[in-house]
């Protein structure tokens, strides 16, 4: 519940930032134009995300006959989560990881790598699959797309501000004008950074929510905790060649590393996720 409230507040903060910057640059007209362009840019990603991402990672759809163990785990957990049976895919990668995608519950996809199936036992794999089903149940693809749309609109407004400052910079030598130009440039630089930080914070809060949701589906938080411990070690040994635009989708951040700033990470620290799961009692 706390993470759901946090998501609403953060989306509100993003919207407020968008309105504030739009008002400074172009009034309501500037906000509307930037928002419309951002919606158009993100609509395709949201609507066709399953096809785009699955093709990107050469994922192959499997059936009950070709992968009975995995298929049965997904089906049983989908029933427990009161979800329609999603399509199931296997990614030909040794790096252990998994993700869910699709625009809604009826068009959902769960994908796992070959590597994750090799290193996890049944209880651990159930925890991972339940985490991905929790993302589907909580409509995280839609929430992520909304956040990306607002953040994209802010970035567009910031670009407009930069060009406004550049094109108007030589029109006057007045100190106040220069002060305004400097402020405009500063805002154009800082606003997208602030939007990205808020967007990434939303992503991290959804990961915590999916972890808790997985524990609720399986009635066993320790399975997912054990899986995350294995994935932490294995992903460092065999890193995934992932596109940064899809990093937020995976259960373990394929781009994570000690030098990666937490503020700009799509995932919470794995140590914190594991500790939270370990502190839960089995249902």
Among 126, 132, 207, 272, the one annotated catalytic: 132
Give the CA-trace dihedral at 48, 51, 54, 59, to 10 degrees.
160
Q: What Rg value do the Cα atoms of the chain yield, rounded?
A: 21
Instruction: Measure the CA–CA gap between 73 and 258, rounded to whole angstroms.
Output: 34
Do the beta carbons of residue 224 and residue 218 sit within 8 Å? yes
For residue 104, the number of C-alpha atoms closer than 13 Å in the C-beta half-sphere is 1
Instruction: Measure the CA–CA gap between 122 and 261, rounded to whole angstroms.
Output: 33
Instruction: Measure the CA–CA gap between 105 and 229, rounded to whole angstroms.
Output: 29
How many of the other CB atoms lie within 10 Å of CB of 255? 17
Do the beta carbons of residue 268 and residue 252 sit within 8 Å? no
Q: Which residue has the tokens 């030098």?
A: 259
Q: Both tokens of residue 281?
A: 């009692």
Residue 132 among the catalytic residues = yes
Point out which residues pair with 113 in neighbouring strands.
91
Which are the catalytic amino acids?
Answer: 132
């Amino acid at each position: 519940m706390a993470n759901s409230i946090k998501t609403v507040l953060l989306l509100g903060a993003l919207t407020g930032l968008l309105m504030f910057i739009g008002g400074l640059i172009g009034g309501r007209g500037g906000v509307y134009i930037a928002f419309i362009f951002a919606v158009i840019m993100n609509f395709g990603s949201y609507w066709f995300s399953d096809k785009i991402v699955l093709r990107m990672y050469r994922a192959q759809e499997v059936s009950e006959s070709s992968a009975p163990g995995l298929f049965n785990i997904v089906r049983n957990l989908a029933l427990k989560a009161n979800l329609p049976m999603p399509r199931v895919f296997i990614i030909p990668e040794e790096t252990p990881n998994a993700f869910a995608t699709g625009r809604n519950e009826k068009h959902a996809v769960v994908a796992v790598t070959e590597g994750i199936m090799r290193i996890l036992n049944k209880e651990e794999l159930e925890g991972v699959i339940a985490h991905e089903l929790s993302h589907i149940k909580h409509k995280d693809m839609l929430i992520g797309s909304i956040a990306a749309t607002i953040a994209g609109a802010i970035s567009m407004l910031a670009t407009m501000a930069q060009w406004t400052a550049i094109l108007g910079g030589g029109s006057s030598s007045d100190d106040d004008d220069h002060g305004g130009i400097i402020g405009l440039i500063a805002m154009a630089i800082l606003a997208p950074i602030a939007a990205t930080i808020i967007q990434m914070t939303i992503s991290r809060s959804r990961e915590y929510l999916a972890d808790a949701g997985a524990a609720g589906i399986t009635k066993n938080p320790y399975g997912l905790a054990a899986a995350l411990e294995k994935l932490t070690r294995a992903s460092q040994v065999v890193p995934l060649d992932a596109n940064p635009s899809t990093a937020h989708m995976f259960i373990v951040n394929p781009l994570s590393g000690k030098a990666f700033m937490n503020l700009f990470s799509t995932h919470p620290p794995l140590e914190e996720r594991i500790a939270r799961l370990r502190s839960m009692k089995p249902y």
